[in-house]
Amino acid sequence: MPDPETASESASSESVNEPIEELRYSELVPPFNDDLWLDRLVRPLGFGWLSDRLPGDIPPSYIYAVIMVVTLPTIIGGHGIIEKGDQAFYIQNPLAVLQPLGIMAAVFGARSLRAKYHRVLYEMNIEERTANPTHFTNIIPKWLPWIFVGLLVTANYTQVALRGGPLGIYRESGLSAMLGWTVANPIWTTMTVQFAVVYIGIVFVAPWRLWKSDVGIDFYDPEGLGGLRPIGELVKHAYYYAVVGLIAYALVLYGPIVSAPGWEVATGTSLIFTVVWLGAVATVAFAVFVLHRFMHREKREELHRLRMLEQKRIDTPWDGNSYSPQESDDDVVDDLRQQMDRVSSTNEYPATFSIWSQLLLSIILPKASQLLIAGL
């Protein structure tokens, strides 16, 4: 017969462990299955039909990216081989394969980042910390992707016009080049825009809305980061995605230097890379700066509030020699001082050498890669 005391302890242990089992993080956060801009764009084109009939929950944008990245280079490159007997482009410049692969990865990366942001909102418990949670759930304005598409497509067809239009490109470089400029480039644009708008939403829109919101700081955060570690980490991860894309972009632009000695890269090409790199650096710098200033502001305001409450319970708040609370308020003053210590100990993101070093290294790496490859 079991010992009643042992049985009681066992039951108590089970009751303690039950909530821990129930509070598994993966079960607390619902999966992110919303359509992104590119999903909504391609769903009516038949990719939604394919998505509904394939096993698993595959977004239409994934199917679109895979089909386009496989078929377009095959059709365009294959036509060049048949039409002119050219050597396959990817044999001439093997690093150029990073362009379609990178563009496809941008679609997957965009959804990955947006799903991470979805988890961040749950980690930060945004719904209970602000009166307007939709301000954070909808971080991509509906007009933003179309602005990007309009600018990039306009720039592409301006280049087409400067080269004599589609017929001029056809006469100069053949049908493959003409299809690349007039068909493939606009399709690649839709994929890169999907990543760009998610990236801008995370590193620009979300921090700015946090600054203007009533979310505040969680000074009881055991990590000492005011409950903002999730969004700070996400900003870093978003920039790491951009860094990988920039390095791949550098390899595509300067790949011919590696495979074809004597190849010279136009000044405009280097300028475009530098502008894109500076734009990425500016966005992550903005996000880090806003997060830092937000935490700095919230800490100072909370310390000032607590200090004012303390002063009301001190007989001579400005005289250090006789600074003492009223007898009836000893416990209250002790509690206020503990709260001030807690607020003061909260770090302001980015708070550690590790975070700063990671950010600085990721900022330098793309430009260093470009200069290294260009110098070969």
pLDDT at 11: 46
| Selected residue with higher pLDDT from 24 and 310 | 310
Query: In this prediction, what percent of the chain has a pLDDT beyond 90?
Result: 34
pLDDT at 285: 87
| Residue 228: Cβ-neighbour burial (10 angstroms; 0-12, 13-18, 19+) | buried
Distance in angstroms (rounded) separating the CA atoms of residues 304 and 309: 9
Q: Which of 231-235, 295-299, 307-311 has the lowest mean pLDDT?
A: 307-311
- pTM (2 decimals)? 0.83
Count the alpha carbons within 13 Å of 15 in the hemisphere toward its beta carbon: 6
pLDDT at 20: 44
pLDDT at 210 over 90: yes
End-to-end Cα, the chain, rounded Å: 81
Q: Quick one: pLDDT band at residue 5, thresholds 50, 70, 90?
A: very low
pLDDT at 172: 84
| Selected residue with higher pLDDT from 93 and 372 | 372
pLDDT at 291 over 50: yes
Distance in angstroms (rounded) separating the CA atoms of residues 171 and 142: 40
| Selected residue with higher pLDDT from 6 and 49 | 49
Q: Quick one: pLDDT band at residue 267, thresholds 50, 70, 90?
A: low
Query: In this prediction, what percent of the chain has a pLDDT beyond 70?
Result: 77
pLDDT at 29: 79
Q: What is the pLDDT of residues 176-198, one digit of tens each?
A: 778 888 998 999 999 999 999 99
pLDDT at 250: 82
Q: Which of 153-157, 228-232, 307-311 has the lowest mean pLDDT?
A: 307-311
pLDDT at 293 over 60: yes
pLDDT at 347 over 80: yes
Mean pLDDT score of the chain, rounded to an integer? 81
The β-bridge partners of 314 are 325
Closest of 350, 351, 352, 338 to residue 219, by C-alpha: 338
| Selected residue with higher pLDDT from 117 and 93 | 117
Q: Where are the alpha helices (DSSP H) in the chain?
A: 4-22, 25-28, 37-42, 47-53, 60-84, 89-92, 98-123, 126-129, 134-137, 144-162, 165-173, 175-179, 185-200, 206-211, 229-259, 267-311, 330-345, 353-374
Mean pLDDT of 82-106: 71
pLDDT at 200 over 80: yes
pLDDT at 16: 45
pLDDT at 365: 80
pLDDT at 310: 82
Residue type, position 332, single letter = V
pLDDT at 17: 47
Length of the chain: 376
pLDDT at 193: 95
Q: Quick one: pLDDT band at residue 363, thresholds 50, 70, 90?
A: confident
| Selected residue with higher pLDDT from 316 and 138 | 138
C-alpha distances in angstroms, 254 versus 63, 106, 267? 30, 20, 12
